[in-house]
Amino acid sequence: MVPRVPLPPGPNALLHLRKDYRMIPVITLGSTGITAPQNGFGALPVQRCDMETAVRILRRAYEGGMRYFDTARAYSDSEEKLGNAFMSDDYKNACPRESIYIATKTAAKTPEEFREQLETSLKNLKTDYIDVYQFHMANQCYRPGDGTGMYEEMLKAKEEGRIRHIALTAHKIQVALEAAESGLYETIQFPFSYLASEKELHLVELCKKNNIGFIAMKGLAGGLINNSRAAMAYMLQFDNVMPIWGIQKETELEEWLSYMENPPVMTDEIRTFIEAEQKELAGSFCRGCGYCLPCPAGITINQCARMSLMLRRAPSDDWLTEYWQNEMKKIEKCLHCYQCSKKCPYELDTPALLEKNYEDYQNVLAGRVSVK
């Protein structure tokens, strides 16, 4: 049973003008001691906002009760936006460094790149330390003595106080499982939503058993899930999971903040809805992660390979424009080189999936198949 306790007091008294107690569960991430509301901010999308908008959104998230913020060196200027939002002179008194948790990532492949990216992240974030430092999209479970020197760099950075906790993000389940068993990582980040398979559920339980914090990315399955209430109700069943919701609009943020004081519970109605969603989306479908790109034929694989779902789960007119018709037509030039399949963390037969989606798309355009 997840405890429902008051939000840890923040430095800004304005937080408590509306209500002294918030009902979102407050969880601790494994052995890290990081204790925060179970409603994290994923800062990948704010790279698409201008600086002023991003700063406004991030500060509103903090004032609304969010305390866990996740970014990455690879997310263009996302780190800079967090730094400007929270560590600038005009706001840092309202948001002391110890009142928030900042997670970022390094995609470095060598110790030299690791040190360079860590320096850049600290500078961009305007901070002396990073709470959770993660190997980004790791293709292996780095270990001491494995010859890469990468884990040794993590240990050195922790000993120096420049990072607080050693972590890893992955899209390949075997890498995540190995990391969870290794005893080397304090948090693991992996795609997780109510479309999770038994393997992902096992990973969550393994992390709990081994006292590892679990960070859930892609809680909306790359845009396929469009019911935030059901998505949140599902996450709140797990007392070791911190969902990070990708946010780039103030309207999106307000939707997630509304759950701080009114978190959804898993009702029979929501459970039935989720079961129907799981049935509809069972099997092979593209999660839109984009790790298959670039395509030598120029195909926007991460959208075209799931077009049938997007036509039926979002306003179809948005996907039937001349632009998307031209993008889908590129499938005709697929080389069947299978580079995409080799890079797909879900081991999909991507060329076959593209052909299937293109056939459906043509039928929709011709009026042979109707969508909303």
Tens of pLDDT, residue by residue over 262-317, are 999 999 999 999 999 998 887 678 888 888 999 999 999 999 999 998 888 777 88
DSSP per residue, 348-360? --HHHHHHHHHHH
CB 219 within 8 A of CB 259: no
Question: What confidence category does residue 77 fall into, taking pLDDT thresholds of 50, 70 and 90?
Answer: very high
Q: Which of 51, 59, 22, 168 is nearest to 106 (CA)?
A: 168
State yes or no: pLDDT of 231 exceeds 60.
Answer: yes
Phi-psi group of 25: left, alpha or beta (phi > 0 → left; psi -120 to 50 → alpha; rest → beta): beta
- Our measurement of the distance from residue 183's CA atom to the centroid of its chain's CA atoms, rounded to an integer in Å, reads 23
Question: What confidence category does residue 168 fall into, taking pLDDT thresholds of 50, 70 and 90?
Answer: very high
Map out the domains of the chain as residue ranges.
13-276, 301-366
| Fold (CATH) for 13-276 | TIM Barrel (3.20.20)
With pLDDT > 70 as the criterion, what percentage of the chain qualifies?
93
Q: Which pLDDT does position 83 carry in this prediction? A: 97
Give the tokens for residue 187.
Answer: 């948090």
Q: Which pLDDT does position 218 carry in this prediction? A: 93
State yes or no: pLDDT of 46 exceeds 50.
Answer: yes
Q: Which pLDDT does position 312 carry in this prediction? A: 84
Tell me which H or E stretch contains 230.
helix 228-235
State yes or no: pLDDT of 166 exceeds 50.
Answer: yes
